[in-house]
Amino acid sequence: MATTNPELAAPTTSASRSALREGWKQLRTPLVYLLPALVIMLVVTFYPLAFQVWMSFTDYGVIKEEGKQTLNPFGPGGTTPPNYRPAQFVGLKNYLDIITNNPQFVARLGGNFDFWRLLTFNLWWTFSNVGFHVALGVIIAVLLNVEGLWGRKIYRAIYILPMVLPNIVVATVWRNMFDDQYGSINQLINLFITPFGFDPVQIRWFNQIQDPIPGIGLPLSYYAMLIANIWLGWPFMAIVATGALQSIPKEMYEAASIDGATDLQQFWRITLPLLRPAMVPAAMVGIVTTFNLFHVIYFMSGGGPLGRTEIMVTQAFKLINVNQLYGVAAAFSVIIALVLIPIFLITNKISRATESYDV
């Protein structure tokens, strides 16, 4: 049955044991401070994760074909429910079903599941969004930093608005804005084009199958969500960039000006290199956030059309919410973790986050 994952459980036990022998004193005080958090994390974080790994090798969930479930062994009055059976070990089946797109498995999910397309889309979704966020954030921060620009404070106050709204609200509002019949985006477009004699358009943002830009396999709903998420994401980057910009000494620009460098040269030679240390960790945070951006996808396109804008986290949720395939969902979540680990390692390496404090 479910045992704690040795890999995950090891640090506390083995570390404390060896420390007991070597020097209890070194560990005693930190352990007291760590203990509450460690105990709680072992119970609510690491044990469930280990359990998840076990689940991923079983048929845990609702087994429709047999009319059985593995979720609840407790019937009324101490009995076992008649439709309960313990989860059975299925080996790597869940993993293989997912990564090989087993036709029967895919058909049972409705026919739109394609793991590799999902993964590619998820990565592309992440990097395209963060790319726009960082680029726009830096440009707008530089723009707002121009000396003598009127109303900078007002602009700064306005520009922070997308950040302060919860993204679940942002997603639902943008979903309605992109409504093909009643949405404000189409209404706005028509406001501009009808005076020139064009027919009003009704762009089907979330349904259109034909790719607006042929050859790259991204449906229109991707672009709709990209627009919404750019709106949502750039202000954070702009604020980070502003903070970094203000720490660049003016003297550097003055010296460059004297040396005859143009504004553009100053931007490339001074501003960008000095922004990098601040922007890289921010971009890493952005990448992890966007990779896992459940609300925007789930509430805007719902993964459509034809599941082409599904990302890993929305698919994982649907495996449970719609299909009650807990075992498959667990395997899927393990795969998500495996995809995120390289991203995490790169984050860690670049931002050197786990390095010791006392340099």
Partner 1 sequence: MSSVATRSRRTGSTTAGRRLKWWQQLILQAICLFIAATVLFPVLWIVSMSLDPRNISRPTELNLIPPGASLQAYLQVLDRPTANPVTFAELAFNSLRLAGGVSAFALLIGVSAAYAFSRFRFPGRQFMMIAVLAITVLPSVATIAPLFALLNSIRISSTIMSIILVLAGLMLLGLTIFAVAPAVRLGSAGPGNYFFGAIGLTISLGLIYGGLSPARSEVFVLRNSLLGVGIAMVSGALPFAIWNLKGYLDTIPRELEEAAIIDGASPNQVFFQIVLPLATPALAVTGFLGFTSGWTEFFLSWQFLTDPKDFTLAMSLYNMTGQYAGQIPWSRFAAFSILLSLPIAIVYLLLQRYIIGGLTLGGVKG
Partner 2 sequence: MKRLSFSLIALLALFATLLAACGPTPTAQPTVAPAQPTAAPAQPTAGGMAITGTVTLWHAYGTGSAEEKAINILIDRARAAYPQATINVLQIPFDQIFNKFNNEVSSGGGPDMFIAPNDSLGSQIRAGVLADLSEYQNMLTDVTPSGIAGMSLNGKLYGIPESFKAVALYYNKSKVTNPPATTDDLLALVKSGNTLVLNQNAYHNFGWLQAFGGQLMDANGKCIADQAGGAEWFAYLKALKEVPTVTFSTDGGQADSLFKDGKADMIINGPWVLGDYRAVLGDNLGVAPMPGATKPAGPLTGVDGFYVSINSQNVAGAVALALFLTSPESMKVYVDEAGHVPVSTKVSINDPLVQAFAQASATGVPRPQIPELDNYWGPFGDAMTKVLDGGADPAAAVAEACALMNTANGK
- Which residues, numbered 196-235, are part of the site for partner 2 (CB under 8 A)? 202, 204, 206-210
- Comparing CB distances to partner 1, the nearer of 14 and 120 is 14
Query: Among 3, 45, 194, 265, which residue sits at the site for partner 1 (rule: CB under 8 A)?
Result: 45
Contacting partner 2 within 77-116 (CB under 8 A): 81-83, 103-104, 107-112
Residue with structure tokens 């501003």?
A: 271
Judged by CB under 8 A, does residue 71 bind partner 2? Answer: yes
Judged by CB under 8 A, does residue 186 bind partner 2? Answer: no
Query: Among 13, 37, 74, 135, which residue sits at the site for partner 2 (rule: CB under 8 A)?
Result: 74
Residue 175, C-beta contacts closer than 8 angstroms, at least 6 positions apart: 299, 300
The rounded distance, in Å, linking the Cα atoms of 223 and 127 is 14
Which one of the spans 66-74, 139-147, 244-252, 264-272 is the region binding partner 2 (CB under 8 A)? 66-74
Residue 303, C-beta contacts closer than 8 angstroms, at least 6 positions apart: 297, 309, 310, 311, 314, 315, 318
- Report how many residues bind partner 1 under the rule CB under 8 A: 127
CB of 175 to partner 2, least distance (A): 10
Residue 183 tokens read as: 């949405």
CB of 321 to partner 2, least distance (A): 5
CB of 79 to partner 2, least distance (A): 8
Judged by CB under 8 A, does residue 135 bind partner 1? Answer: no
Which one of the spans 108-116, 197-205, 218-226, 242-250 is the region binding partner 1 (CB under 8 A)? 242-250
Judged by CB under 8 A, does residue 259 bind partner 1? Answer: no
Query: Among 65, 147, 251, 358, which residue sits at the site for partner 2 (rule: CB under 8 A)?
Result: 65
Q: Rounded to 5 degrees, what are φ and ψ at 290?
A: -70, -35
The rounded distance, in Å, linking the Cα atoms of 66 and 133 is 49
The rounded distance, in Å, linking the Cα atoms of 345 and 351 is 10
With contact defined as beta carbons under 8 Å apart, do 167 and 232 qualify? yes
- Comparing CB distances to partner 2, the nearer of 84 and 132 is 84
240 exposure class (CB count in 10 Å sphere: 0-12, 13-18, 19+): buried
Contacting partner 2 within 255-294 (CB under 8 A): none
The rounded distance, in Å, linking the Cα atoms of 279 and 157 is 21
Judged by CB under 8 A, does residue 86 bind partner 1? Answer: no
Residue 67 tokens read as: 């009319």
The binding site for partner 2 (CB under 8 A) comprises 61-62, 64-65, 67-69, 71-72, 74-76, 81-83, 103-104, 107-112, 179-182, 202, 204, 206-210, 305-306, 320-322, 324
